[in-house]
Chain A
Amino acid sequence: MTEKKALKTESGLSLYHPLVSFGYFVAVIAGTLLFIHPYFVLISLGCALLSAAMINGKKMFLASLGFGIPMFIFIALANPLFNHRGATILFYLFDNPVTKEAIIYGIVSAGMMFAAVIWFTCYNTVVTSDKFIYIFGRVLPSVALIISMTLSLIPRLMAQIKVIADTQRSIGLDWKSGSLMHRIRAGARILSILVSWALEDAVITADSMRARGYGQHKRSTFSIFRFGKRDGIMLSIIVLLFAAEVAAYITGAGTMEFYPAIVAPKTEFIDILFYIAYAALGIIPAAIQMKEELKWKQLK
């Protein structure tokens, strides 16, 4: 695990207010998880891949594919093995029937998970931890402050772990070599030193907080984010498209029958409208990014 590399320059959806970007991902990921339906999954996956390619940077995009594609294959294969429902039996594996319906369902649900994972990589680029804490802080300010402090500690502790490991090695205790048990023991020892160190520092942190008036008064919550007109417009669009999603789910346009036998997805006018609305939601990050890049080209 390495720390995710944030995009160097902020652009596109990142420049909107956290409520907008966070709301966007709630809408799009909810939609992704809601519809086990080949067209919706296809739209979601397509948009997710397009967005990820545009906003995550090449290296991270390829890394997410490296994780996503094997997962896709795994789920697509696992489903027919766990599930034996469906009318069309293709063959038997270890005395269990493998059905056409289960295979197709597996591919669709694998596509859904693949899309969800890719959307989350986009989320990680756009909704950085401070934005999340901002959203969280509006609901649970005290818990948000704890998270914020935990987050500031993690990189500090990672650096200290390295220092401790190096020092311990130089007095003859190397956690990178030797038997597994030796390595575990040496690692536990490094963590022990880390915990003393960190708790000792925590006493100072508490002092520093009290010195700056924490704890006695009613706290206000400050943020550097400002909600502008363009945020309002974008948020309205997202809410509207999300409403369409909900409507699609309620009317049944977003569900499809796989068992006992597959019923082909509907393609009536209203269904096509739902597909378009969903695609419109999915394309937002890529569209904003595209628009911005065109602007820059013109300016050159």
Chain B
Amino acid sequence: MEAVKVTDFSFDYAIGNETALHDINFTVNEGEFIVVCGPSGCGKSTLLKSIKPQLKPFGTTRGKIEFYGEDVYSLPDEKTAGEIGFVMQNPDAQIVTDKVWHELAFGLENLGVETPIIRSRVAEMANYFGIHNWFRKKTAELSGGQKQLLNLASVMLMQPKLIILDEPSSQLDPIAAREFLENVRKINLELGTTIIITEHNLEEVYGYADKVLLMEKGRIKKYLPPQEMAQYLAENEHEGMYKALPTPARMYGSVLKGECPLSIVEGRTWFGQLVDEKQPESPVLAEHERPSEKVIDINEVWFQYEKGADPVLRDLSFSVRKGEICSVLGGNGAGKTTMLSVVSQKRKYNLGSIKISGKELSKYKGTELFEHNMAVLPQNSQSLFVFETLRRDLEEIFAEKKISKAEIEEKVLAVARRMEIDSLLDRHPYDLSGGEMQKAALAKILLLEPKLLLLDEPTKGMDALSKENMGRILQELAKSGATILMVTHDIEFCAKYSDHCMLFFDGYIVSEGSPKKFFSENSFYTTAASRMTRHLVRNIITCEEGEQLCRSLL
């Protein structure tokens, strides 16, 4: 049964310069799990929204989208409202009401369903997703992962045949993201609901796909099962998308031998077959010498949120050296972000000492700490922007300084070029994509000419290409003498770009070392490449190293 059939579909926006769609043709069968991918701005969002009549952007269409054999735009609204579910990116903004139970019922209320029916359907769904434990809570009290699960459940309550998800996990941390995507898969497997999903990060979702749809510049490039897609991407110049593939598929792509593995388990088997009788040598760990100058020096710091509360930082000691990119990893709620807020004077620590560039933190008065010294890139970069254009926002940094107009313009342009956002200067900051916004935010704080940068989850919501850009920019900054401390969940990013890694657990740094040493010694908390190869070859950390190893084995 064909759930969705798109024939010769084209779309032109009435206004704006977003990517239009040209000659789209594809079918999705009932019960399939379809992953739509492509570089940002390729039109995947437009395509997904076009399938849901209530969200169809304003513009002209040609061709046809059929939903179970009928033109989706001529179907009655209550049918498409219920039968085509849509989950968006932002977990907060999708929530309408203030109570979990009310949010669940919202869709059915809109369709005029009677209370007893709503009651039993809500009960069923709450049980299915394990929501019953927080059923009576306020929506504002939920975690990001819970909010997004609530959004999914609210859509599921309307008993959709098809669910469309537009980058649903990009604002969640990796653990919550994985849980969420597992729930999507569960719906697909257990209820047979058809899924169409886009994601920046394909690591998780790629293995679930029945078929992958690759888009480029508003057109469909390929529509293939995941194994064949991996092969296609490896054989053809498609840098950005190839880099977004999960590690096993990429290692396969580097040699194109055997059957493409999609999960780590499959990857281990595949790698075993590739190694076969050969006995590859493990690369030797080079001795790692840290610079001696301590830019951040934390000694035996304790922190509690209030008197009598559990300490969040317990006897925390570590240092960040000049010119280093230093990463702090660790689970959710371990206190990593709290540690950042203590270092940046948002919160006062109870005991111990913190020195920034050799000076005790408490000796920095007012905003002195932030004058040509420390700068913080917040998780929500929106909180940095005030004005209607990015240019004004960047120039604003100099508002109270005595610098000539020409000089300001020059400085802004220089930093914009460096971040590769010079073409976006006249855009509204809110119209930027996640990756662009993050770069713009970084540009803004770089104008403060800081010596020390604190970054909180710098790669959140970024696709593979933006991550690579960000990594390169950070390395350049470090090379020019800046010191960087970042808190992240992104193991792969950290392995690839940092000079020093630390594992934060139970309020202090449990282990630290160079990324090579750190990740090859860890057995669970480590990169995909390491997990795939460690039983045969040691000290392989990044995907690139893995690919190189595979090639050497041919």
Binding site for B on A (CB under 8 A): 129-130, 133, 145, 148-149, 151-152, 155-156, 159-160, 163-164, 166-174, 177, 189, 192-193, 196-197, 200-202, 204-205, 207-224
29 A-B residue pairs with Cβ-Cβ distance under 8 Å, sorted by A, are A129-B98, A148-B96, A148-B99, A149-B97, A152-B96, A155-B140, A160-B380, A169-B367, A170-B370, A170-B375, A170-B376, A170-B378, A174-B367, A193-B382, A200-B382, A201-B93, A204-B90, A205-B95, A208-B88, A208-B93, A210-B54, A211-B52, A212-B158, A217-B111, A217-B112, A218-B112, A220-B113, A220-B115, A222-B118
New contact pairs (4) apart from A166-B346, A213-B54, CB-CB < 8 Å: A133-B98, A216-B110, A218-B112, A222-B119
A284 to chain B, nearest CB (A): 24
With a cutoff of 8 Å between Cβ atoms, the chain B residues found around residue A164 in the complex are: 383
4 closest pairs, A vs B, by CB? A213-B81, A152-B98, A155-B140, A201-B93
A25 to B55 CA separation, bound complex (whole angstroms): 44
**B384 pairs with A167, CB closer than 8 A:** yes
Query: What is the CA–CA distance of A128 and B52 in the complex, to the nearest angstrom?
Result: 37
In Å, the complex CA distance between A193 and B396 comes to 14
Rounded to whole angstroms, the CA-CA distance of A211 and B375 in the bound complex is: 40
Instruction: State whether A167 touches B378 (Cβ < 8 A).
Output: yes
CB distance from A84 to the nearest CB of B (A): 50
Using an 8 Å CB-CB cutoff, how does the interface string of B334-378 with A read, 1 for contact, 0 for none? 000000010010100000000000000000001100110011101
Checking B82, B110, B119, B386 against A214 with a beta-carbon cut-off of 8 angstroms, the contacting residue is B110
Decide if A212 touches B383 in the complex (CB within 8 Å).
no
Q: B73 at interface (Cβ–Cβ under 8 A)?
A: no
- The complex places the Cα of A172 from the Cα of B376 at a distance, in Å, of 11
- In the bound complex, residues from chain A placing their C-beta under 8 Å from that of B419 are none
Q: How far is the CA of A160 from the CA of B344 in the complex (A)?
A: 18
Q: Which residues of A contact B88 (CB under 8 A)?
A: 204, 207-208
CA A113 to CA B232, docked complex, whole Å = 78
B110–A211 CB distance below 8 A: no
Q: Which residues from A are CB-within-8-Å of B115?
A: 220-223
Contact between chains at A197 and B154 (CB < 8 Å)? no
Mark B77-114 against chain A: 1 for CB-CB distance below 8 A, else 0.
11001100110101011111111011001111111111
Please tell me if the beta carbons of A151 and B397 are within 8 angstroms of each other in the complex. no
In the assembled complex, the Cα of A22 lies from the Cα of B21 at a distance in Å of 55
- Which B residues have a C-beta under 8 Å from some C-beta of A? 52, 54-55, 77-78, 81-82, 85-86, 88, 90, 92-99, 101-102, 105-115, 118-119, 122, 136, 138-141, 151, 154-155, 158, 341, 344, 346, 366-367, 370-371, 374-376, 378, 380, 382-386, 397, 430, 444-445, 448
Task: Check A171–B444 contact: CB distance below 8 A.
Answer: yes
- The smallest C-beta distance from B509 to any residue of chain A, in angstroms, reads 24
Given the known A-B contacts A166-B346, A171-B448, A196-B430, are A217 and B110 also in contact in the complex, defined by CB atoms under 8 Å?
A: yes
Secondary structure at the A interface, as helix, strand, loop or mixed, is helix
- A152, A193, A204, A219: which contacts B110 (Cβ < 8 A)? A219
Nearest-neighbour CB distance to chain B for A198, whole angstroms, equals 9
Q: How far is the CA of A193 from the CA of B380 in the complex (A)?
A: 12
Task: Name the residue on A nearest B85 (C-beta).
Answer: A211
8 Å CB contact of B108 from A193, A196, A201, A222 = A222
The answer on a CB contact under 8 Å between B94 and A208 is yes
Number of A-B contacts (CB under 8 A): 170
A227 and B383 alpha carbons, distance in the complex (Å): 46
Q: Could you tell me if B78 and A216 are in contact, using CB atoms closer than 8 angstroms?
A: yes
Q: Which of B106, B366, B397 has the most CB of A within 10 A?
A: B106
Q: A209-B96, A211-B86 are in contact. Are A163 and B140 (CB under 8 A)?
A: no
Question: Which residues on B sit within 8 Å (CB–CB) of A221?
Answer: 109, 115
B375 touches A171 (CB 8 A): yes
**Contact B105–A222 (Cβ < 8 Å):** yes
Q: Which residues of chain A are near B111, meaning CB under 8 Å?
A: 213, 217
Whether the pair B96, A192 counts as a contact (CB closer than 8 A) is no
- Nearest to B95 among chain A residues (CB) is A152
Whole-angstrom distance between the Cβ of A21 and the nearest chain B Cβ? 16
**Chain B residues with Cβ under 8 A from A156's Cβ?**
92, 140
Question: Are the C-beta atoms of A167 and B96 separated by less than 8 Å?
Answer: no
Bound-complex Cα distance A212 to B54 (A): 9
CB-based contact A210/B55 at 8 Å: yes
Please tell me if the beta carbons of A211 and B55 are within 8 angstroms of each other in the complex. yes
* Contact of A200 with B430 in the complex, beta carbons under 8 Å: yes
Are the C-beta atoms of B378 and A163 separated by less than 8 Å?
A: yes
Question: Whole-angstrom distance between the alpha carbons of A151 and B141 in the complex?
Answer: 12
Q: Is the CB of B112 within 8 A of A212?
A: no
Q: A163-B378, A167-B376 are in contact. Are A172 and B370 (CB under 8 A)?
A: yes
- Cβ of A164 to closest chain B Cβ, rounded Å: 4
Cα of A252 to Cα of B382 in the assembled complex, Å = 63
B contact residues around A155 at 8 Å (CB): 138, 140-141
A196–B397 Cα distance when bound, in Å, is: 19
User: What is the CB-to-nearest-CB distance from A131 to chain B, in angstroms, rounded to a whole number?
Assistant: 10
Q: Which residues of B contact A170 (CB under 8 A)?
A: 344, 370, 374-376, 378, 445
Pair B55/A207 contact, Cβ less than 8 Å: yes
Given A171-B444, A213-B82, A219-B112, the answer on whether A152 and B140 have CB atoms closer than 8 Å is yes
Verify B96–A208 contact, CB threshold 8 A: yes
| Closest residue of B by beta carbon distance from A10 | B136
What is the minimal beta-carbon distance from A152 to any residue of chain B, in angstroms? 4
Instruction: Kindly report which residue of chain A lies nearest to residue B158, judged by CB atoms.
Output: A212
Interface centre among B78, B98, B114, B344 (most CB of A within 10 A): B98
Contact among A152, A166, A201, A219 for B378, CB-based, below 8 A: A166
Q: Which of A148, A207, A212 contacts B98 (CB 8 A)?
A: A148
Report the minimal beta-carbon distance from B152 to chain A, rounded to whole angstroms. 12
Cα of A218 to Cα of B109 in the assembled complex, Å: 9
